[in-house]
Amino acid sequence: CTFPYLLDKGQKIYPQYGASKTPEVYILQKEAAGLRIKYTGAVDDSSRDPNAVTEKYVENAVNELLAGKPVTVSQTRAIGCAIKA
């Protein structure tokens, strides 16, 4: 599965959402009042071994949103390096 993403080269957007690690995923949904965070955290449950993945957090959240359902797991712990501004 592939998803569109935003690359924050100038490091101007991440502080608005409180991102502290990389990679750290934020799934936003456009609503009348603006963008609302629907998921934040890790891509999946195995940052080191793709063959050991049992839970695809981002894929599951996107699929739930596309189906018009609430996101079951809306936050997980991001695993990565600290963002240095």
Per-residue pLDDT reduced to its tens digit, 1-28: 677 788 888 889 889 999 999 889 999 9
Distances (CA, A) of 58 to 18, 27, 42, 43, 71: 18, 8, 8, 5, 10
Per-residue pLDDT at 67 exceeds 70: yes
Per-residue pLDDT at 63 exceeds 80: yes
